[in-house]
């Protein structure tokens, strides 16, 4: 029986600036939003930096209300300067 090799993710944005917009991966999709703050509890739990991002939801709700602001916890490994689909 063989163990799968652990893939080490690269950190492409070494020090994300609070208030700046970035692309990020969340639940398998690419989102775009503003870095709001460092999530201290997740950072201490996992051992690497986690950030909170805000992004407008892409869809209107079923009752016709406007899209709303969503918050996402994002690991440092999942933050990108450029859109990964175009590079």
Distance CA 35, CA 22 (A): 7
How many domains does the chain fold into? 1
- Is residue 1 domain-resident? no
For residue 74, the cross-strand partners are: 51
pLDDT at 1: 63
| Two tokens, residue 37 | 């703050």
- Is residue 87 domain-resident? no
Model confidence pLDDT, tens digit, residues 5-61: 777 778 889 999 999 999 999 998 899 999 999 999 999 999 999 999 999 876 666
Distance CA 87, CA 74 (A): 21
- Is residue 50 domain-resident? yes
- Is residue 9 domain-resident? no
Q: What DSSP element (H or E) covers 43?
A: helix 40-46
Q: Which domain holds residue 63?
A: 21-80
Question: Which has more confidence, 86 or 59?
Answer: 86
pLDDT at 60: 67
């Amino acid at each position: 029986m063989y163990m799968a090799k652990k893939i080490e993710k690269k950190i492409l944005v070494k020090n994300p600036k609070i208030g700046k917009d970035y692309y990020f991966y969340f639940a398998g999709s690419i989102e775009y939003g503003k870095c709001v703050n460092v999530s201290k509890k997740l950072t201490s739990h996992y051992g690497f930096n986690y950030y909170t991002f805000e992004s407008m939801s892409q869809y209107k709700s079923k009752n016709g209300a406007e899209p709303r602001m969503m918050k996402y916890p994002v690991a440092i490994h999942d933050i990108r300067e450029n859109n990964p689909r175009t590079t």
